[in-house]
Amino acid sequence: MIAIALVPAALATVVLAAHFLRAGWLPLVVVLVAVIPLLGLRRGWVPRLFQVILGLGTLEWLRTLLSLRDLRQALGQPHARMVAILGIVALITAVAAALFELPKVRSWYRGGDQRAGTAPERYDTSD
């Protein structure tokens, strides 16, 4: 279940990296590819990191959609199919970010933290 929920995040990150590779942003591509293995790290900050990355990725897809639509309209070229495709890519990226809110995924990442959400043990030294 957990792996199935994390596959969209990995794929959306790879597609986003490919988008930036095409744009020539190699340092960002390296960062995006480098963070993918963190999905296997059971720490509470990992879902938040990917939600930020994928949230910003969703905004980037929408920005790209609007700018390419405007360009194609100005050139008198068809744009409806491109808008649909990029809209779906943006939606899938947003859904990939939302999957981190599933209870099983949240508890899996919480399970990697030592006693997540509990107070530290205190030792009785009154002997």
Q: What is the pLDDT of residue 1?
A: 79
Counting other chains too, the contacts that 25-31 makes at CB distance below 8 Å and 24 or more residues apart are none
Sign of the Cα torsion 66, 68, 74, 77 reads negative
Whole-prediction pTM value? 0.83
Query: How high is the pLDDT of residue 125?
Result: 52
Rounded to 10 degrees, what is the CA torsion of 48, 49, 51, 55? Answer: 140
User: How high is the pLDDT of residue 113?
Assistant: 53
